Amino acid sequence: MKRWFALSAIGGDRPGIVADLAELIYECDCNLEDSSMTILGSEFAVLLLLTGEGEGVEERLSVACKRLEWEKRLTVFFRPLQGAPIPYGARHHATRYQLQATGIDKAGIVAKVARCLADRNINIDEMRTQSRPEPGAGTPIYTMLIHMDAPEGTDEATLRRDLEGIASTLNIEITLHPVA
């Protein structure tokens, strides 16, 4: 019977981390189904969705993850899932949006926008943020890009009004676009 697992790892960025993780999955007779990887500062971070079959797959993964932590100085966490993940689009009827916020870096941008979305049961599927110095002046400019699903019946006009209120309060720009 096919079993599903989520595995995450973080460690100092270096060549070979992806190879180390892929070999761990292969050696445990598992299959990499989906992945998301990034570098945050000087740290490499990864989230993997994998499957495995047969007796002892969970134990093999546990031992291999501990070995990888010790040998490669990674922090690795994995857990079994209750079943197969629900495919994108089958979760609920939703409208897909992209939100971008840009402005002088200050505390509260992510917290206020994320709370606004959560209060409307809007699911953030992906979020990227960065703070970079403005050319010339060096003022830190914060950019946040969110891909999200708004449930059927979400009042777009009210959402836009509430986001404009946040933008005004924080003195930033927020744009919201439906994605086909």
Cβ(158)–Cβ(77) under 8 Å?
A: no
Pair (59, 101) in one structural domain: no
- Do 124 and 171 belong to one domain? yes
Final residue of a structural domain among 55, 80, 105 = 80
The pLDDT tens digits for 152-172 are 999 999 999 999 999 999 999
The residue from 18, 51, 80 where one domain ends is 80
Same domain, 8 and 63: yes
Cα 127 to chain centroid, rounded: 6
* Residue 84 pLDDT level (bands cut at 50, 70, 90): confident
Position 21 scores a pLDDT of: 97
Local confidence band at 87 (pLDDT 50, 70, 90 cut-offs): low
State the pTM of this model. 0.83
Beta bridge partners of 45: 10, 38
Do both 15 and 70 map to the same domain? yes
Q: Does 88 map to a domain?
A: no
How confident is the model over 19-32, as a mean pLDDT? Answer: 97
What's residue 89's pLDDT? 55
Residue 11 lies in domain: 3-80
What pLDDT score was predicted for residue 90?
Answer: 56
Among 107, 180, 177, which Cα is nearest to 145's? 177
Q: Are residues 107 and 46 in the same domain?
A: no
Rounded Cα–Cα distance for residues 78 and 21 (Å): 12
The reported pLDDT for the residue numbered 93 is 75
Is 173 in the same domain as 117?
Answer: yes
| pLDDT, mean over the chain | 94
Residue where a domain terminates, one of 58, 80, 102 = 80
